[in-house]
Structure 1
Amino acid sequence: MIKHIVMWKLLDAAQAPRFKAELDSCKGLVPGMREFEVGIRTEGMEANHDVVLNSTFDDAAALEAYVVHPHHKKVSAYLGTLRESRAVLDYST
């Protein structure tokens, strides 16, 4: 299993719900995607990022299929215009 965790700091934190909705459109996009959860920061709780994706894939091939999928590429390009920074951690479980 491969965990794929991505966190974004947005240019405007008010865009977090829209950012989440765009990411949610990628759920179930490829075979081998086991989990796909998008969260946005909760006001009053500690956070230094605005949005997080916590996802799990069967293997590296499934993650790569997601990364290169045309819909993911389209969503990613759009979301790139809304972010200040992005942090990624992929690891085997």
Structure 2
Amino acid sequence: MVKHIVMWKLKDFAEGKTKEENIEIMKSMLEELIDKIGVIKKLEVGINFTESDAAFDVALYSEFETNEDLETYSKHPEHLKVGEFINKIRDARYVVDYKI
């Protein structure tokens, strides 16, 4: 099993919308991927509620059977489309992939 975790800090204003509006759009777009990309075994999107300078705004937790499935997900056109939007609204991104 492969776990894929990504965290983002978003811009206060981007693409004509506030951070809060973009968070909701981003969450919806990411959650829709589970129905569009068959190799995703589990996908959760969390919105931060902690007031801390160290906190990120959005976290993605997803699971895949194999490294190849994660690579298929990463290169999938629907994933790339979501990534294009996120790249326009984010300030920072961190990722970790690991096996259990």
TM-score w.r.t. structure 2 length? 0.83
Alignment match, 2:16 = none
Identify if the C-alpha distance between structure 1 residues 29 and 63 changes in structure 2 by more than 3 Å, giving closer, same or farther.
Answer: farther
Runs of 4+ in 1 over 2 A off after TM superposition: 28-32, 44-47
CA contact (8 A) 2:39 2:73 kept: no
1:91 CA displacement: 0.3
Q: Which runs of 5+ in 1 are unaligned?
A: none
Q: Does the residue aligned with 1:48 lie in a helix, a strand or coil?
A: coil
CA contact (8 A) 2:9 2:91 kept: yes
Q: Does the residue aligned with 1:26 lie in a helix, a strand or coil?
A: helix
Q: Does the residue aligned with 1:16 lie in a helix, a strand or coil?
A: helix
Q: Distance in 2 between matches of 1:20 and 1:69?
A: 18
1:23 CA displacement: 1.1
Q: Distance in 2 between matches of 1:88 and 1:29?
A: 22
Q: Distance in 1 between matches of 2:40 and 2:78?
A: 15
Which among 54, 67, 70 is matched to residue 60 of structure 1?
A: 67
The structure with the greater share of residues assigned to helix is: 2
CA contact (8 A) 1:29 1:66 kept: no
Alignment match, 1:10 = 10
Q: Which residue identity is paired with 2:24?
A: P
How many residues align structurally? 92
Q: Which runs of 5+ in 2 are unaligned?
A: 13-18
Alignment match, 1:30 = 37
TM-score w.r.t. structure 1 length? 0.89
Identify if the C-alpha distance between structure 1 residues 32 and 22 changes in structure 2 by more than 3 Å, giving closer, same or farther.
Answer: closer
| 1:84 corresponds to 2:85 | no
Which among 55, 62, 68 is matched to residue 48 of structure 1?
A: 55
Q: Identity of paired residues, percent?
A: 38
